[in-house]
Amino acid sequence: MRPKRSPPGPAAPRLPRLRSAARNLLIRALRRRQTTRAFSDRKLSAEMLSELLWAAFGVNRTRGPFGDVGRTAASASNAQEIDVYVALADGIYQYDARQHRLELVVPGDLRALAISRGPSRADPGVNAPVRLIYVADVERLVHARGFREPGLRDPQVQRAYYYVDTGLIAANVYLFAAATGLAAWFHNCNRAGLAARLPLREGQRVLFAQTVGYPPRRPRGTRR
């Protein structure tokens, strides 16, 4: 692509080369951020799962905008309309960020529902220990305590907001994975299958899923 001619005005600031990443954990995580679609079946420790969920969409301030708590990911008018469900080998749980705990929603191994592939196509994340499922609650946007923004009642604006808000959570998960050596994969999911199993209210929409786990074990003697 040919560079565009700059309009008259100040010279653009020079961007120095990135310094050694060694001292900067965030730059290092950004360098490593990627989608990985292969997983080992190694479980995440309780500590790792706890940190993953907090990084994804935990409470990071008791006093956030509009009289509510603040979260690690931004949301439109601080509506916090995305719920994170966590599919593990023994059930699907809902992440309660305020109490920082998991609540069982449906027992049983339903991790396969977090993927939209047909039975003929293998699911590369089938062994992964954790599948996050992002569900929007439109009612929470409508009743957000933030500005009385008319857009919050417009279905098209609502859609834009809840997809953006999901992406911000997913980006946190990608960066947490990159920083801790986990593999992460954001993907479509079996929306109808999940909606049939999860006890959702009217106005709740299953949007996307994100598979998280350890990358596959390498045979001895091979380098990553």
Ligand X SMILES: Cc1cc2nc3c(=O)[nH]c(=O)nc-3n(C[C@H](O)[C@H](O)[C@H](O)COP(=O)(O)O)c2cc1C
The yes or no reply on residue 39 touching ligand X (CB under 6 A) is no
Q: Is 131 in the site for ligand X (CB under 6 A)?
A: no
Q: Which stretch binds ligand X (CB under 6 A): 6-14, 69-77, 86-94, 185-193?
A: 185-193
Instruction: Read off the tokens for 154.
Output: 């417009």
We find the least distance from the C-beta atom of residue 162 to ligand X, in angstroms, to be 13
Three-state helix/strand/coil letters over 189-209: CCHHHHHHHCCCCCCEEEEEE
Q: Does 186 bind ligand X (CB under 6 A)?
A: yes
Residues 187-206: x/- map of binding to ligand X (CB under 6 A)? xx------------------
Establish if 24 lies at the interface with ligand X (CB under 6 A): no
CB of 190: closest distance to ligand X in angstroms?
11
What is the biggest distance separating any 2 CA atoms in the chain, rounded to whole angstroms? 64
* Interface with ligand X (CB under 6 A), residue from 34, 104, 107, 145: 34
Our finding on whether 176 is near ligand X (CB under 6 A) is no
Q: Where are the beta strands (DSSP E) in the chain?
A: 59-61, 70-71, 82-88, 91-96, 101-107, 130-137, 183-187, 204-213
Contacts of 111 (CB under 8 A, 6+ apart): 87, 88, 89, 126, 128, 131
Binding residues for ligand X, per CB under 6 A? 34-35, 186-188
